[in-house]
Structure 1
Amino acid sequence: MELLQLQYFLTVARLEHVTEAARSLHVTQSSLSKTIQRLEDDLGVPLFDRIGRKLRLNEFGNSFLRRAERALFELEQGKQEINDLSSPEHGTLKLAVTTASSLPNILREFRKKRPNLQFHVQMLNMQEMITLLHRGEVDFCLSSPSIYGDDINTQVVCIDPVLVAVPKGHPLAERDSISLLELRDEWFVGVKKGYGARDLVDSICESAGFTPKYVYEGDEPARLSSLVEAQIGIAFIPSTAKNSNEHIHYLKVEDHDLVREIALLSHKSRYISRAALEFRDVVVEYFGEMA
């Protein structure tokens, strides 16, 4: 059994399509198919049910997948550890975030400590982030809400009140606070379902007796302030994401504990480099000073 066979197997198992898997691996379809066939011959059983170019893991494949993921995970951790020992000042810090408003400031502070370190940051919805986290493919996730699991380290770094942002000139702009039910007839701009902040707000509004009406739903939280300023709609904005724009007014929510947790997450079995540990310290210090 070869390492290449395991890598190809994992890619096909995740994509469930020969053409897409071959494209992802930058190999020909025939080469990929032959490699998977050799692995099945070595194991003595088929791993997939084949429907055209579509592949579905069968009982044997599902059982083998767990072992293959664990084996490749451990090899990747060994590689990370060797890289850290041999070149501690270089390398790449892999991050996944569902909340990015504070990230530029955090990375700027961390860059002062590790000027030669590279970053790879992905802005994801909750399910995408959880998938990478469980696979151990990122050093840290900055997530809202918090996620808990047997294989996850969870450190809550911030309790963040969610505010209501309205444009100057809006009837509510003369107030400092508002009850949720008073917002039932307003139009909102927000992120799509699947993002933690959106799901939290929708859930609490429904408990207050109404479902928010959205005139805009996107996947770029930073754009919401511009849409509010343009009077497209009002928005729920976490306090850590508000800006000093003089054309936007922020109100506190009176009658509900509308807050979100921001947590730093990591896989319990992933090797954490010295640089990653320093990054964690910067995150904790940053939110501590904000509090």
Structure 2
Amino acid sequence: MELRQLRYFVRTKDLGSFTEASRSLNITQSTLSQQVKQLEEELGVLLFDRFGKRITVTEAGELFYQFAAESLKKANDGAVLLRDLNDMNTGTLKIGVTYGLRNLFTAVLIKFSEAFPGISVRAVFGTSDELMEKVRSYELDLALVFFGEPDQESLAYDTLFSSPMALVCADDSRFKGNKAVSLKDIAGLPLAIATKEYSADHFFLRLFRKHRLEPDFKMEINDISAVLDLVRTGRWYSIMVEITVRESSLHTVPIKEKNLLRKAAFVRLAGAYEKKAAKEFTAQLRKQLPELI
């Protein structure tokens, strides 16, 4: 039994598809199927029932999954622990950053690299949901994300601060200077938003539905900078986490409805060994946080 086979099995079970798992692992589907089949033969049980292209995990697979996931975590912890013996002179920190916190991340990264020049940083930008999934699959050491409430027991959340959702408008907007704006008012505006894959978008879309409002989405773009450029023209508005827009030439107007806060946090795998580099990066961010928000 090899760790590679355990990783393949766990990824397939998590995604529920050989096709999706092979794509995620960057291997061919035939290689993945063969390795899982060899694991099943060694164990003497079927881990998956196959129905054409569809698979379901068996009872044996459900039981074995807990062992496999724990084994992978312990093997990863052991490897990280040994690498940490280098005492921050070498190593790599793999960190994910949600788009709205990129400026915060960059400021901290500069100071961190000055303090620990021997540490290489591999940064990945993505949506909060995507990044949390990468943490769960051991692709990232930690991720800097926005969230509403913790919803994954497998992750540990280190909350940094909260920031409200706000209407984003141009300098000449009629809303500039308003103390607040309602969701009803926003629903009638031409909106340019980051695509609905962004967690913040999921958050306020649910709010619109809760208030039985139909927002007017004129533009949906999977890039926050492009959305902000559209808003600067004065033809469109947007809704974002307030801190995302703070250093731009645009204006934000608070939304009247309550509980429109998004929390920024570092997330990592719960119960896993935490790299010294990850601890130091988190500490550096907390040290700089008062001057950055």
TM-score with structure 1 setting the length: 0.83
Partners in 2 of 1:18 and 1:32 — Cα distance? Answer: 9
Query: What amino acid maps onto 1:45 in structure 2?
Result: V
Aligned residue among 218, 222, 225 for 2:221: 218
SS at 2:101's partner residue? coil
Aligned residue among 162, 165, 173 for 2:165: 162
Q: How many residues align?
A: 288
Aligned residue among 270, 282, 285 for 1:283: 285
SS at 1:177's partner residue? coil
Q: 2:199 maps to what in 1? A: 196
Q: Percent identity at matched positions?
A: 20
Contact 2:88 2:119 in 1 (8 A): no
Partners in 2 of 1:163 and 1:143 — Cα distance? Answer: 18
Aligned residue among 262, 270, 273 for 1:271: 273
Partners in 2 of 1:205 and 1:55 — Cα distance? Answer: 37
Partners in 2 of 1:127 and 1:69 — Cα distance? Answer: 20
Contact 2:22 2:29 in 1 (8 A): no
Q: 1:104 maps to what in 2? A: 106
Write the deviation string for residues 180-238 of structure 1: whole angstroms up to 9, x where unpaired: 13323101111233433223333444555634321122332233211211344101233
Deviation larger for 269-278 or 88-97: 88-97
Question: What is the CA-CA distance between 1:75 and the residue it aligns to?
Answer: 0.2
Partners in 2 of 1:48 and 1:154 — Cα distance? Answer: 32
Query: What amino acid maps onto 1:260 in structure 2?
Result: R
Aligned residue among 185, 201, 215 for 1:182: 185
Query: What amino acid maps onto 2:226 in structure 1?
Result: R
Unaligned 5+ segments in structure 1 are none
Unaligned 5+ segments in structure 2 are none
SS at 2:82's partner residue? helix
Partners in 2 of 1:164 and 1:4 — Cα distance? Answer: 48
Q: 1:5 maps to what in 2? A: 5
Q: 1:39 maps to what in 2? A: 39
Query: What amino acid maps onto 2:59 in structure 1?
Result: E
| Residue 176 to residue 269, structure 1, CA distance change in 2 (3 Å) | same
Partners in 1 of 2:24 and 2:264 — Cα distance? Answer: 36
The answer to whether the aligner puts 1:129 opposite 2:131 as a matched pair is yes
Q: 1:74 maps to what in 2? A: 74
Query: What amino acid maps onto 1:271 in structure 2?
Result: Y
Deviation larger for 254-263 or 155-164: 254-263
Question: What is the CA-CA distance between 1:280 and the residue it aligns to?
Answer: 0.6
Question: What is the CA-CA distance between 1:178 and the residue it aligns to?
Answer: 3.1
| Residue 12 to residue 179, structure 1, CA distance change in 2 (3 Å) | closer
TM-score with structure 2 setting the length: 0.83
| Residue 200 to residue 119, structure 1, CA distance change in 2 (3 Å) | same
SS at 2:175's partner residue? helix
SS at 2:61's partner residue? helix
Query: What amino acid maps onto 2:9 in structure 1?
Result: F
Query: What amino acid maps onto 2:283 in structure 1?
Result: D
Q: 1:50 maps to what in 2? A: 50
| Residue 2 to residue 215, structure 1, CA distance change in 2 (3 Å) | same
Query: What amino acid maps onto 2:231 in structure 1?
Result: V
Write the deviation string for residues 148-180 of structure 1: whole angstroms up to 9, x where unpaired: 35443322211213332212333333x343321
Cα root mean square deviation, aligned: 3.0
SS at 1:271's partner residue? coil
| Residue 286 to residue 147, structure 1, CA distance change in 2 (3 Å) | farther
Query: What amino acid maps onto 1:172 in structure 2?
Result: F
Contact 1:146 1:262 in 2 (8 A): no
Partners in 1 of 2:71 and 2:78 — Cα distance? Answer: 11
Q: 1:84 maps to what in 2? A: 84
Partners in 2 of 1:257 and 1:57 — Cα distance? Answer: 39
